[in-house]
Structure 1
Amino acid sequence: MERDELASWLRLTLTPGIGNTAARKLLSAFGLPMEVFAQPAATLRQVVTDVQASALLEAPAELAAGVERTVKWLGSKGPQGETHRILALGDPAYPASLLEMADPPLVLYLIGPERFELAQLARSIAMVGSRNPTAQGSSNARAFARAFGEASIAVVSGLALGIDGAAHEGALDTATDAMRPATVAVVGTGLDRVYPARHHALAQRIAAQGLIVSEFPLGTPPLNQNFPKRNRIIAGLSRGTLVVEAALQSGSLITARLASEQGKEVFAIPGSIHSPQSRGCHALIRQGAKLVETVNDVLEELRFYGSPTPATPPLLEEEESTAAGAGLLRAMGYDPASLDTLCARTGLPAAALQAQLLEQELAGYVARLPGGLFQRVMQG
């Protein structure tokens, strides 16, 4: 993209009061952004409001600095050689699945190996969920994402803490296909920053073995309103959306709703009736989302054939533990339980029970939760 063309796209996205809907009307009427800005006010007012037309006649104050920043960014590469790119609406490489949305982004910023394209996401699944998942939820997310990766299915998520991060990590565990992005992170900031900061190393791994995508100009901070907005892109890039864990009021349910509105399949993993993090999934299932117990439930619904069926994330095999440990695990069930509750269920004294819990925790079969609770974890 030439500098003048880039500047016109940035100006269109930065002009106050010009959202995607007004911008698409202008593009439909006049063509490329350069032609939009060549129109007199009277002509613009035939397409947009007087206020919007007036705003279009004056370049935003931050435009020059934004162009310089973006040109410099495009000319640089990441620490592992990944490229920086921009796709504008109408570009041949712009993903067709986003064009089917009611509100496709005008511009997409990308970081990743040059060989990876968003058009390669014909086999893809969005995975979303709580930022504060249970130990079981994190384990499920990573195990399912790993199984999707083994079936050559790209995992799309939002780089958030919790389920998003676990899903990206699980997909990266299988990143062996040099011609296919293992995972795609759609973020709510400019691509010159990483949010949350603790995912900086994860973002670098994704940039090297997948793609990071944003519709927001460089320099955009993590504004609350941008995260629900980016969720439509997560849903739009994917054939379906799998919700691993979610509270009743959560961004994950927004993504699921957007996927449904786009005519995409919605899947949900059920959980404990006592866990607030399962209530969103249960609500989705009541509304018609497909209940998911294994990866094959998703593969069959989306008809993802033509590759080896991945191993289903296995349930815990009690015989792999000690006999005493297996009895403890049976007594625990899968809901969080306190030490006193487990003492009552097993009849063991506290000291002996704590020793068994430590053994199972070290073996990866039990997770220690806040508030002195313990939870059995299925192995993935």
Structure 2
Amino acid sequence: MSQSTADWLLLALTPGIGPAGFLKLIARFGSASHAVAASTAQTTPIIGQEAALALREQLAGPAVEAALTWASQPDCTLLSLQDDDYPQALAETASPPPLLFARGQRALLQRPMLAMVGSRSATPPGKQIAEEFSRRLSAVGYTIVSGLASGIDAASHRGALQEAGSTIAVIGTGIDRVYPASNRELAHHIGSAGLILSEFPLGAGPLASHFPRRNRIIAGLSRGCLVVEANINSGSLITARLSGEYGREVMAVPGSIHNPQARGCHRLLKEGARLIETVDDVLEEIGRPAVTTPPAPRNTADEQAAEHPVLSQMGFDPVSSETLALQLGLTQGELYAMLLELELAGKLASLPGGQVQRLV
């Protein structure tokens, strides 16, 4: 390892400097090595006394050694802002991460990317939409970028992993940790067939302040941001806002007025986001990749589902089984058998409180 590389890592991993402070130091001193060699009196006006002392005392030395040891493993690399394959779109944002831990298929960073984000408490239809959209967009050549959260993020990753475009997970912890733990198996899959990125030191936990920083990377990498479901306070709206500030396309899938997980999307639509109903709507907004794979054949499930009397009666909002039985003139036993058949076929989902909701 060269001294310049060691100094770059030391500067990037020193607590309190951050991406903005890193760039200010480079602009002032010309290189990481010159910044590391500078006196505390010279660096304090730029990054503050605490960070300047941490840099002078090289408190990040153990983190640098841990990073280099980690990067010696198969499929584990360190991506710096000075590398030729650092994504240009991210580099041109206001505070690009100077260092990224990368595990998996680093070549995905050179593909056209689309952010897909949404609620952690997603509804079954929302997760189905996210998975199907990401699968088809990955099939035509987009790499789907999301945050490895529960709900819409996880569904987006799963859909994209089924096709060639695959997926990138930008996480809010150290890359040696998985949050939430329920996504551990998904993270292992992404680490082999996709790519995981983190700007945080190894061992870093899921602090609340980490996730807005993660979101700026998701937005910065991508041509556009598609929000599938989001409540008013959803962090995915931060990603959408940053995407707009970066000049990216912002898109949202509308939902039922009775669904609180759709209200964030409706707010985005009121603010001028593109209303998305189909994958073709997305492609009209952000264009097709230069090299594309033909999209999957259109599924005729909608037409087939419309022929079933239970689905025809349901519409797309949640409804109780008692109401359905009265509307259809069926006993609870007769209706239960039909609902079970449709649920096993993936055409509806059971919800809390004895309600069901149509999926197709």
Scaled to the shorter chain, the TM-score interval is over 0.9
Residues 224 and 47 (structure 1), Cα distance of their counterparts in 2 relative to 1, 3 Å cut = closer
The corresponding residue for 1:178 is: none
The corresponding residue for 1:205 is: 189
What stretches of structure 1 of length at least 5 have no aligned partner?
78-82, 176-180
Instruction: Give 1:108's match in structure 2, choosing from 96, 100, 119.
Output: 100
The corresponding residue for 1:132 is: 121
Instruction: Give 1:300's match in structure 2, choosing from 277, 284, 305.
Output: 284
Residues 372 and 4 (structure 1), Cα distance of their counterparts in 2 relative to 1, 3 Å cut = farther
Per-residue CA deviations over 1:84-106 (Å, capped at 9, x if unaligned) read: 11112222221111111111111
The corresponding residue for 1:95 is: 87
Kept in 1, the 8 Å contact 2:253–2:275? The answer is yes
The residue type paired with residue 151 of structure 2 is G
Question: Aligned runs of 1:70-219 on 2, under 5 Å?
Answer: 70-77=67-74, 83-113=75-105, 116-118=107-109, 120-121=110-111, 123-175=112-164, 182-219=166-203
SS in 2 for 1:317: helix
The corresponding residue for 1:329 is: 311
Separation in 1, partners of 2:283, 2:137 = 9
Separation in 1, partners of 2:66, 2:14 = 17
Question: Aligned runs of 1:20-59 on 2, under 5 Å?
Answer: 20-45=19-44, 47-50=46-49, 52-59=51-58
The residue type paired with residue 107 of structure 1 is L
The corresponding residue for 1:67 is: 64
The residue type paired with residue 210 of structure 2 is N
Normalised to the residue count of structure 1, the TM-score between the two structures is: 0.89
The residue type paired with residue 377 of structure 1 is L
Residues 355 and 36 (structure 1), Cα distance of their counterparts in 2 relative to 1, 3 Å cut = same
SS in 1 for 2:357: strand
Residues 195 and 71 (structure 1), Cα distance of their counterparts in 2 relative to 1, 3 Å cut = same
Range with bigger deviation, 303-312 or 35-44: 303-312
Instruction: Give 2:336's match in structure 1, choosing from 334, 354, 357.
Output: 354
Q: Percent identity?
A: 48
Separation in 2, partners of 1:159, 1:315 = 31
Range with bigger deviation, 305-314 or 278-287: 305-314
How big is the shift at 1:44? 2.9
Kept in 1, the 8 Å contact 2:108–2:194? The answer is no
Separation in 1, partners of 2:40, 2:211 = 34
Separation in 2, partners of 1:70, 1:3 = 15
Separation in 1, partners of 2:294, 2:258 = 33
Equivalenced residues, count: 359
Kept in 2, the 8 Å contact 1:147–1:310? The answer is yes
Residues 293 and 50 (structure 1), Cα distance of their counterparts in 2 relative to 1, 3 Å cut = same
Kept in 2, the 8 Å contact 1:245–1:280? The answer is yes
Separation in 1, partners of 2:184, 2:97 = 25
SS in 1 for 2:330: coil
> In the alignment, does 2:217 pair up with 1:233?
yes
The corresponding residue for 1:374 is: 356
Kept in 2, the 8 Å contact 1:186–1:213? The answer is yes
The corresponding residue for 1:256 is: 240
> In the alignment, does 2:263 pair up with 1:282?
no
Kept in 2, the 8 Å contact 1:266–1:289? The answer is yes
Per-residue CA deviations over 1:258-277 (Å, capped at 9, x if unaligned) read: 10010100111111111011
Kept in 1, the 8 Å contact 2:116–2:227? The answer is yes
Instruction: Give 2:227's match in structure 1, choosing from 243, 246, 263.
Output: 243
Residues 142 and 16 (structure 1), Cα distance of their counterparts in 2 relative to 1, 3 Å cut = closer
Separation in 2, partners of 1:211, 1:159 = 11
Residues 50 and 228 (structure 1), Cα distance of their counterparts in 2 relative to 1, 3 Å cut = closer
The corresponding residue for 2:347 is: 365
Separation in 1, partners of 2:150, 2:318 = 21
Per-residue CA deviations over 1:292-345 (Å, capped at 9, x if unaligned) read: 011011111112155355248747435368x6xx11101111011111221232
Separation in 2, partners of 1:192, 1:46 = 34
Question: Aligned runs of 1:308-323 on 2, under 5 Å?
Answer: 308=293, 310-311=295-296, 314=299, 316-319=301-304
What stretches of structure 2 of length at least 5 have no aligned partner?
none
Kept in 1, the 8 Å contact 2:141–2:289? The answer is no
Aligned alpha-carbon RMSD (Å):
2.0
Separation in 1, partners of 2:329, 2:283 = 44
Normalised to the residue count of structure 2, the TM-score between the two structures is: 0.93
Per-residue CA deviations over 1:274-298 (Å, capped at 9, x if unaligned) read: 1011111111111100000110111
Separation in 1, partners of 2:343, 2:47 = 62
How big is the shift at 1:68? 2.7
SS in 2 for 1:37: helix
